[in-house]
Amino acid sequence: MSGKIELMAVAKPGDIEKKSFEIIDSEVPEPRKFAGIEWQIVRRMVHTTADFELIDLVRFHPEAVASGLDALRSGCTVATDTEMARCGIPMRRMNPLGCEVRCLMNDPEVISSAKRNSTTRAHAAMDLAAHSMRPEIHVIGNAPTALIRLVELVGEGIMEPPALVVGMPVGFVNAAESKKLLMNSGGLPYITIEGRKGGSALAACVINALAEVVLAERKLSGEI
C-alpha cells in the first residue's frame, strides 16, 4: 500500500518550533485552562512530549511563576537531579541571564556519602546542595528521593525554601507520592505534574520557558 505523504514546508530550524507552537495553540483553542506565562510553560511541555494529557495534570503553586522569574532575573543557580536535565537547559539561555546550571550527582563527595549512608546519590546530592550550593531553583525530573529529601530539608529548617521547585520525577516507585508531598508542603513554590508522568526533558523545558520570558524582557529593553 502506497500513497503520497504531505510534508510541512519549514525553511529554518527555528521555524519548526514556531510551527509546533502554532499547531498546539490551534489544537487547544481558547478559552484554555491556563493563560499568559503559565500557558507558555504548559505549551512548551506539550511541545517537548507531544502529550496533550499534560494540560490536565500540570499544577502551579500561585507564587511559582513570579518567584521563578525573579530568581532568573537575579542571575540564580539552578540545580538539577540529572546530567540530562542539566544539558537540557542550554547555556545560550542561561549565560545572558548570569545564571548557572549544576548537577551534583557525579560529585565525589556525593558518591562517597551515598555509599557510606546507604542512600541514593540523589538524596546525598540534595544534602550537599543544601549545605554548600544553596540553589535558588531545583529541577527534579528523575529521582523521587531527591524531591522527598528537599521537602524534608525545608521542613526541618535545614534548607531555606528555594524560589522554585520544578518537581517532575517520573516512574512507578514514589514518583506520584513525592509530587503530592511537594504540593502539600505549604511553603514551596512549585510547578509539578500529578501522577507518574515526568522526566528530565520535561522538567528542563519548564526552565527554558521561564528563561525565554526573561530573555524577551531583556531584548525589549535593549539589555541584550
Question: What 3-state class would DSSP assign to 120?
Answer: coil
AA identity, residue 101 = V
- Of 148, 141, 109, nearest to 125 by C-alpha is 109
Catalytic residue among 47, 61, 123, 131: 47
AA identity, residue 90 = P
Question: What 3-state class would DSSP assign to 207?
Answer: helix
Within 10 A of 145 (CB to CB), how many other CB atoms are there?
A: 22
In a 13 Å sphere around the CA of 114, the CA atoms on its Cβ side amount to 18
Q: Is 123 an active-site residue?
A: no
Whether the Cβ atoms of residue 214 and residue 96 lie closer than 8 Å to each other: no
- Give me 73's grid cell: 532575573
Active site residues: 47
